[in-house]
Amino acid sequence: MFEGVTILTTFAIAMTMVVLMPKLMERLRLPAILGFIIAGFLLGPAAMGLIKEDGPVIYLLAELGKLLFMFFVGFEIDLDDFKKTRTRSITFGVLTFILPFAAGVLVGRLTGFGWNASLLIGSIIASHTLLAFPILQKLGLTQHPTVLMVVGGTIFTDIASMLVLAVTVSVHLTGFSWSFLGKEMLELAIFVPLILFGAGNLARKAIIRYGQKPELRVTIMLVVIVVCAEGARIINLEGIVGAFLAGIAVKRAVRGKFAVEQLEVTSQALFIPAFFLTTGFLVDPVVLKQSITESPGMTFGMLAGVLAGKTVAALLTGLIFRQSRPEMGTVASLSFPQMAATLASAVVGYQCINSQGVRLLDATFVNASVLIVIVTCVLGPILTERYAKQMRQDATAEAKTSSASESEVAVAPDVATERRSLCS
């Protein structure tokens, strides 16, 4: 039906949907992000077929979009504020990794997977993607202590899950080796400080020397992000971890947004929407049916493990640090979405074949992963928007109450002074 459509016409249709679909979602009181995902489904191979999922152009745009998305998540972090929530971030990070991880290992063992594959399954559902972060940006909550706690916890879950991936793949291919595990830990201990302290300073010096024009600053920042992402891949981490750390590093070294203003505009207009469009490509009714009918225990067990594990982690963290109900709801829903790291790890596990011709993970698991991605990516943003709005209302009310109390304290001495003067 659309075989004669030129690539420029396809681009125009895609960009039109990128503009219109988020607006439609907002009118339906749904997160705008869902508009991109639905547009991707309609344009993708399962519906209209206008865009091929393996096309080199869309792949490049989506890959850059994924990296830029995580870069700006990292860029929103102010390390000075982050230090204030360090204890909370570590606590939440450990809980939100360990609980889903244990659930995933249990589901893997109960559905017939070996220990090595089950450990990988646990790590896959333990990670999460901050898909709903743009909602918090829109509501002005990115510097809220609860949000900083979730973002800090994400560092732990992503790095831990990628480390488990690297170890399980190595064990499947060559057998377990303590030397390999030690090598991975050493590389990680070198890589993280190198990015946090080296990449940011390098970017600042390059911008000072060569970045007089906006287009040059965009180019410099793209190079920094891609190099950090590739550096992460060299040590068997997902590229998004490197991009995320690059965002933190650049924010630390370059105060203000002048270095990334033009890059942010370009990213929000083209690259990041392309990333969400390709997520919509995964929505395939046939695959969804197969996941439900052929492996219900795996599919619903993993889904329950994600939702229950992340929710319990949020509740325990909230009880420990006395957070409000909207804060706990925001924490849980923000950590629901399974996307970038989940799909990447699932595909790597499927493509990992040892010398006996055995895959680490089978196609059934990949299908189940797709369904989990869809459900969590739909449910997470919807709940995040709901709870985050309540959290903002509570914060606004608390600020007004605090302001009123300060005004009363300031006025009280003046009233007393006036009474004394009248009496005299």
| 68-72, 172-176, 270-274, 319-323, range with greatest mean pLDDT | 319-323
Band the pLDDT of 176: cuts 50, 70, 90.
confident
CA atoms of 123 and 157, how far apart (whole Å): 9
Residue 90 pLDDT: 92
Residue 422 pLDDT: 45
pLDDT tens digits, one per residue of 344-373: 788 778 888 888 888 898 877 887 887 888
Domains located in the chain, CATH noted: 52-402 (1.20.1530.20)
Q: What is the mean pLDDT of residues 143-160?
A: 87
Cα–Cα distances in Å, from 420 out to 141, 206, 412, 417, 423?
A: 46, 65, 13, 5, 5
Q: What is the DSSP string of 301-359?
A: HHHHHHHHHHHHHHHHHHHHHT--HHHHHHHHHHT----HHHHHHHHHHHH-B-TTS-B
> How much is the pTM?
0.74
Residue 418 pLDDT: 47
Asked whether residue 43 carries a pLDDT value surpassing 80, the answer given is yes
| 3-17, 246-260, 272-286, 303-317, range with greatest mean pLDDT | 303-317
Residue 257 pLDDT: 74
Residues 6+ apart with CB under 8 A from 198: 249
pLDDT tens digits, one per residue of 302-343: 999 999 999 999 999 999 999 999 999 999 999 999 876 677
Which segment of 183-192, 215-224, 378-387 scores lowest on mean pLDDT?
183-192
Residue 81 pLDDT: 67
CA atoms of 51 and 43, how far apart (whole Å): 6
Q: Coil, helix or strand for 61?
A: helix
Q: Is residue 280 within a helix (H) or strand (E), and if so which, with residue range?
A: helix 272-281
Mean pLDDT of the chain, nearest integer: 84
Which of these, 109, 115, 95, lies nearest to 156 by C-alpha position? 95
Q: Coil, helix or strand for 238?
A: coil
Residue 115 pLDDT: 93
pLDDT tens digits, one per residue of 217-271: 889 999 999 999 999 888 877 788 889 889 888 888 887 677 788 888 888 888 9
pLDDT tens digits, one per residue of 109-133: 999 899 999 999 999 999 888 888 8
Sign of CA dihedral 142, 146, 152, 154: negative
